Amino acid sequence: MRFRHRAAAGFATLLLPLAGLVGLAAPAHAATEATATYTKTQDWGTGFEGKWTVKNTGTTTISTWTVEWDFPSGTSVTSAWDADVTSSGTHWTAKNKSWNGSLAPGASVSFGFNGSGSGSPANCKLNGGSCDGGGTVPGDAAPSAPGTPTTSGVTSTSVKLSWSAATDDKGIKNYDVLRGGTKVATVTTTSYTDTGLTAGTDYSYTVQARDTADQTGPVSGAVSVRTTGGGTDPGPTSKVNLGYFTEWGVYGRNYHVKNLVTSGSASKITHINYAFGNVKNGQCVLDDSYAATDKAYTADQSVSGVADTWDQPLRGNFNQLRQLKAKYPNIKVLYSFGGWTYSGGFGQAAQNPTAFAKSCKAVVEDPRWADVFDGIDIDWEYPNACGLSCDTSGAAAFKNLMQALRTEFGSNYLVTAAITGDGSSGGKIDAADYGGASSYVDWYNVMTYDYFGAWANTGPTAPHSPLTSYSGIPTAGFNSADAIAKLKSKGVPSAKLLLGIGFYGRGWTGVTQSAPGGTATGAATGTYEAGIEDYKVLKNSCPVTGTVAGTAYAHCGSNWWSYDTPSTIAGKMTWAKNQGLGGAFFWEFSGDTSNGELVSAINNGLK
């Protein structure tokens, strides 16, 4: 997770005090291009939680959006997320964040807030025009939520859904049918048969009405259904198939624990690393408490199908993970501390390993979520070497830290570590006693990716996750096979090594040569960070051109990307089994397709 972890710092800034937000300028867009609808998602008497949804109903992309409304005296916004909210008296203005302002035709985005008082918004304006997409005077109310769907006619590949009609002051135009939160159909009736499903698989459905002005109302309650059959799928592999779930992914990526269910991935994994806890003053600490323990989920967003309440003791990701474990009892969850961004605190922790271990156990075993976690993972990048910062703790520091954690946590907890995949002579594996520390860990997640990337902005182009060496590789030892071989030579048992897979690609631009080794002018454009893009995007935007060293590359236009596919993952899993490895892990869930094809490839390949 060499450069991948930088995203944590960016998303951690999403929640800001209202007093620190800057003023907003109204963008110039025609009123007919979009709608804004409001729903009150929770109400606890003296306060409430509200949500606005902005939808592009036009034919061209909207680059920015601003929603304005009036609250009656005594009602106000106290905190907000996914938008910058300011006020002037009783008039409130919300402007998009830097990452969610662009809306393609038909796309929508939501932002939420907590409020005090009991009033409702009035005089809504979107980009200076009417929030209902017409005229200049608001007045067309959004439709109500349809009834919760019921299911019938369930087969191995299909299910029929029926629901009661929504109501609207101007009339209902049609309904969107959502499977796992993703629209799969638009119909004019109150029933729909969803086909092409997978046997023996869990699905969740909701329905949303649209009125004649193309305004969408709140989604219905969710119904869960399992298709019949599926006896040919024995479930998750007996080897470790572990995925990282990022704490900050619930913001810009809009990726939540429930996505593990709707994608089918939850039935195919064995472990989850929750990333990341921070390391400060030599101690383990909770990082983003809003995402981890406070964020409220509605019924359709939650794994259980039950909405969070304002007074329940635990919400957020931790509560959703609790619900996931209830649904899939085989899954074990580890709390991972460190990562690229937060590894700077390990040097101080290494000065007093015993105190560090005690602080970590106090966080993992906090009474509010003690049942959620089955162990701890340490992602120190890198002991006695350089990552975002350089560590000089000495070769024995990592072993001492892992020994203290095992002593503190005992044999009933999993104790693991993500470690470097640098197999070069005198490289990062040689800098710390990974062999000696291995007797205290259940396994190592060997980060066999991020070997090459556009931080070398002129190239040469090279696959970021080569399985083996190849002619022309820019750095000897920067491949999975050399890293695994070196760790084995230092006494790490094969069964305690997991092969790392990236669910993303790294790429350059200004490239004319299709084969690896070409020159470049810089990093290719990525959705969240230059030089990096999710597999789910790349598989369509830049399809594979060829393979090298057991992984894929793609040359499209002037861009050159490398990434793993189901086919290359199958080859890597065969190699991992032949090496006697304990399994595989991946970074991270949200890079996969909505049906979890990379998770499936790992699971199938390890069987």
Q: How far is CA 246 from CA 273, 391, 467, in A?
A: 8, 25, 25
Say what the pLDDT of residue 489 is: 96
Say what the pLDDT of residue 133 is: 65
Asked if the model's pLDDT at residue 318 lies above 60, the reply is: yes
| pLDDT averaged over every residue in the chain | 89
- pLDDT tens by residue, 518-558: 999 999 999 999 999 999 999 999 999 999 999 999 999 99
Higher pLDDT, 406 or 229: 406
Catalytic residue among 247, 381, 588, 597: 381
274, 364 in Cβ contact below 8 A? no
Q: Which two tokens mark 286?
A: 């909770």
pLDDT-derived band at 237, boundaries 50, 70, 90: low
Asked if the model's pLDDT at residue 76 lies above 60, the reply is: yes
Calpha distance 297→320 (Å, rounded): 9
Highest mean pLDDT among 58-72, 98-112, 496-510: 496-510
Within-domain flag for 196: yes
Say what the pLDDT of residue 251 is: 96
Within-domain flag for 557: no
Say what the pLDDT of residue 140 is: 66
Q: Which of 130, 158, 176 is the last residue of a domain?
A: 130
204, 305 in Cβ contact below 8 A? yes
- Across the chain, which distance is largest between two alpha carbons, in Å? 74
Say what the pLDDT of residue 230 is: 66
CATH of residue 34: 2.60.40.290
DSSP letters along 170-232, please? S-EEEEEEEETTEEEEEESSSEEEE-SPPTT-EEEEEEEEEETT--B------EEEE-S--TT
Residues 194 and 248 both lie in one domain: no
Mean pLDDT of the 136-155 span:
76
Say what the pLDDT of residue 132 is: 74
Residues 64 and 182 both lie in one domain: no
Residues 298 and 419 both lie in one domain: yes
Mean pLDDT of the 271-294 span:
96
Q: Which of 186, 206, 226 is the last residue of a domain?
A: 226
CATH of residue 173: 2.60.40.10
Say what the pLDDT of residue 454 is: 97
207, 244 in Cβ contact below 8 A? no
Domain that includes residue 212, residue range: 150-226
Q: Which of 201, 226, 251 is the last residue of a domain?
A: 226
Calpha distance 420→236 (Å, rounded): 27
CATH of residue 417: 3.20.20.80
- Three-state SS at 160: strand
Asked if the model's pLDDT at residue 589 lies above 90, the reply is: yes
Task: Please return the burial class of 153, using the count of CB atoms within 10 Å of its CB with bins 0-12, 13-18 and 19+.
Answer: exposed
Task: Please return the burial class of 592, using the count of CB atoms within 10 Å of its CB with bins 0-12, 13-18 and 19+.
Answer: buried
- pLDDT tens by residue, 419-460: 999 999 999 999 999 999 999 999 999 999 999 999 999 999
Q: How far is CA 240 from CA 267, 282, 374, 393, in A?
A: 13, 30, 14, 31
Name the domain count of the chain: 3
Please indicate whether residue 49 is annotated as part of the active site. no
Place of tokens 């760790």: 487
